[in-house]
Amino acid sequence: MTKRADYISWDEYFMGVALLSGKRSKDPSTQVGACIVNQQNKIVGVGYNGLPIGISDDEFPWDKEGDFLNTKYPYVCHAELNAILNNIGINLEGCKIYTALFPCNECSKAIIQSGIKEVVYLSDKHAHKESAIASKKMLQTAGIALRKITPRISEVVLSLDEKDV
């Protein structure tokens, strides 16, 4: 027998883990996931956008508009920051972070400080926003590699039906 040819690439695998993590998000508008990988291609942290530990998903707002304090923005912890904070307890120097959406300026500060050296992303749909411009400026100045991936495959389908296992 010859080996399978349609296995997923490392980039597709790690971006897939990031996207799967995003499925845990309670944000009704935008679900983002992130996955941190070390130099041996081992996953060392994952995260998704959500409220900090102990803050109720049901009591805090998920609104995008209105009085700032009644929106999600002051409270939600972004996927990238969660992946950094939730890492398995190692130094992230030289790691890569896979994220569905290009990181904002606040997460970029944490990415730089943690020693992560590459940001791999799928979408940069907020590129025109000031936070994304500031973010890129910081990451580039700090010498972090930025890589947008265009996967060969458009989706990964997972069946949880036992007959498919």
In the annotation, is 80 catalytic?
Answer: yes
Bridge partners of 137, per DSSP, are none
Binding site for ligand 5HC (CB under 6 A): 27, 29-30, 32, 49, 64, 72, 76, 78-80, 99, 101, 103-104, 126
Contact with Zn ion (CB under 5 A): which of 84, 107, 120, 132? 107
Nearest approach in angstroms of CB 48 to Zn ion is 12
Of 12, 65, 80, 162, the active-site residue reads 80
* CA distance readout (Å), 134 to 6, 70, 138: 39, 26, 6
* Neighbouring C-alpha atoms within 13 Å toward the C-beta of 31: 10
Check the annotation: does 107 bind a ligand.
yes
Gap between the Cα atoms of 62 and 135, Å rounded = 24
Binding residues for Zn ion restricted to 18-47, rule: CB under 5 A: none
Query: Could you tell me the two tokens for 156?
Result: 């990964």
Give the one residue of 8, 85, 104, 112 binding Zn ion; rule: CB under 5 A. Answer: 104
Residue 78 counted as an annotated binding residue: yes
Q: In what order do the strands lie in the sheet with 33-37?
A: 43-48, 33-37, 96-101, 118-123, 145-148
What are the residue numbers of the active site? 80
List of residues contacting Zn ion (CB under 5 A):
78, 104, 107
